[in-house]
Amino acid sequence: MILCIDSGNTRVKLALGDARGWQHLCALPKDCFAQDLAETLADWPRPQRAIGCNVAGATVAAGIEAILAKLDIPLAWLRGTATLAGVSNGYDCPDQLGADRWAALIGAHHLHAGASLVVSAGTATTIDTIDANGVFQGGLILPGLTLMRTSLANAAAQLPEASGSYTALPRNTDDAIASGAIEATVGAIERMFKPIAAEPGASCLLTGGAASELVQHLRIPLQHLGDLVLRGLMRVACD
């Protein structure tokens, strides 16, 4: 069995399984992940090895490494490379591509035969294009939905920490901020999808903690895959 770890800015997501699928899957808050990770692994079957991606910084990575070392579980961190698992990295400097984006692109290519727009909606939202041949063409990074809302409250004295709801024509400030964040993100996604829309089987593969807020607003072919990064990690581990 292989342990896959997606260490993000808000949560540490874990999956235990093999090429056939997951036996266990969970998400832990980043703020208290160390104790939770140790307790979770104590309850799961022991993996032979682990593979992970980390965008939460060196302290979190060191904490994960320490826990797995105590359990004698070898760990490999995924990093951006020029090619991997049949996917080519079109970034100017391939090693600068975030490991979570790289894993999601690899997962997307092996789950979907056509061109894909790979969207990860988390603390940041990334919108990446990969063609049917597995070549990453490039993509966008923009603030995530929550970050958009809080940045307005932090930078503009008269705007609140919005807790509004989406509406097409907002008539109060909270709804205007919440709706603006969604419309801005959906607009960017749909605009990025246009260049591949006419390709056979083109689809948007959507993942991340905020994905559920976007699904109902998107008007493009769509697959919502909560474990896309983890699936990419498993593909690399089994390649």
Contact 201, 113 (CB under 8 A): yes
Residues 195-238: tens digit of each pLDDT: 999 999 999 999 999 999 999 999 999 999 999 999 999 999 99
The Cα–Cα gap between 116 and 82 comes to 19
Output the pTM of the full model: 0.94
pLDDT at site 162: 63
pLDDT cut 70: percent of the chain above it = 97
The Cα–Cα gap between 98 and 186 comes to 22
Residue 52 has pLDDT above 90, yes or no: yes
pLDDT at site 84: 98
Mean pLDDT of the 166-194 span: 95
Backbone angles phi, psi at 174, to 5 degrees: -60, -45
Catalytic residues: 100
Confidence of residue 157 (pLDDT cuts 50, 70, 90): low
Residues 82-98: tens digit of each pLDDT: 999 999 999 999 999 99
Q: What domains can be seen in the chain, in order of their start residue?
A: 2-77 (3.30.420.40), 83-146+160-238 (3.30.420.40)
